[in-house]
Copies of this chain bind each other. A is one copy, B any other.
Amino acid sequence: MRVNSLTEENYLKALLALSVTSDEVSVNDLAKHLAIKMPTVTSMMKKLAAKRLVQYESYKPIKLTKKGRQEAAGIVRKHRLTEMFLVDKMGFGWEQVHDIAEQIEHIKSPAFFDKMDELLGFPTLDPHGSPIPDKTGKIEWKHYEKLSDCKPGDKVTLSAVLNSSSDFLKFLNSRDLKLGVNLKIDSIEPFDKTITISIGKRKEVLSNLVCEKLLVEKVT
């Protein structure tokens, strides 16, 4: 009843990720998110409930307990510190680091991650603009909005991405869309919500699917 397995850690992380919207998570959501079958989730929920990491009763939605949320935040903290370290200290591109961090987040060594933290100067954001949870498990998102919710004429700064897959980030690289670039929304196609933006004098056309994954901050 002491340390969590890699598998358990992945369930906790999934629960935390799925909680951002609804706080309560269904067996089905979890099964889909982890690409496993529902009965597997059911039995793991019983185990995690016994460890007081989740609240679980048959046929009712699942909630992380405080303890569960903290453990999950700890994993995410390790993941994001790692990504930051890989980019800032080792010279990887932001599109290369997620998969490595998925593995390193399970390393058991507070000293290792404390050292990363220190060498990085105690960062609060990861290379994708996501907040790095603090040691108490607090996760503070800035008040960003989705590019897909902006209006024509809005001037914004690209501040975070909601998808860290290599494919998506390579796409952004190919258009020189990095965190911090300033964009102006020129127009939105009513039919499919495709957005045309200006970056300096360059223009780009971005599908709604892409814009939903881009978080921006209004500039005055």
> Which of A's residues lie within 8 Å of B, judged by CB?
86, 89-92, 96, 99-100, 103-104, 107-109, 111-112, 115-116, 119
B92 touches A103 (CB 8 A): no
Chain B proximity of A165: nearest CB distance (Å) = 16
Q: Which of B92, B99, B116 has a CB less than 8 Å from the CB of A115?
A: B92
Q: Once bound together, how far apart are the Cα atoms of A39 and B43, in whole Å? A: 30
Asked if residues B103 and A115 are in contact (CB atoms below 8 Å), the reply is: no
A107 partner, pick from B92, B103, B109, beta carbons under 8 A: B103
**Roughly how many angstroms separate A204 CA and B112 CA in the complex, as a whole number?**
33
Copies of this chain, whole number: 2
3 A-B pairs with least C-beta separation: A100-B109, A103-B107, A90-B115
A90 proximity list for chain B (CB < 8 A): 115-116, 119
Residues of chain B contacted by A109 (CB below 8 angstroms): 99-100, 103
Chain B nearest CB, measured from A170 CB (Å): 15
How far apart are the CA atoms of A116 and B86 in the complex, in Å? 10
A205 CB, min distance to chain B CBs, angstroms: 32
5 A/B residue pairs, CB under 8 Å, sorted by A: A91-B115, A92-B111, A96-B111, A103-B108, A103-B109
Known pairs A91-B119, A100-B111, A104-B107. 17 more at Cβ < 8 A? A86-B112, A89-B89, A90-B115, A90-B116, A90-B119, A91-B115, A92-B111, A92-B115, A96-B111, A99-B109, A100-B107, A100-B109, A100-B112, A103-B107, A103-B108, A103-B109, A104-B104
Distance between A121 CB and nearest chain B CB, rounded to angstroms: 14
How many Å lie between the Cα of A58 and that of B119 in the bound state? 52
Specify which of A86, A90, A92, A119 lies most central, judged by the most chain B CB atoms within 10 Å of its CB: A90
By a CB distance below 8 angstroms, the chain B residues around A86 are 112
Distance, CA A99 to CA B116, complexed state (A)? 17
A108 to B101, CA, bound (A): 11
A10 → chain B closest CB, angstroms? 15
Chain B residues with Cβ below 8 Å from A96 are 111
* Residue of B with least CB distance to A107: B103
Write out the residue numbers on chain B whose beta carbons fall within 8 Å of the beta carbon of A103: 107-109
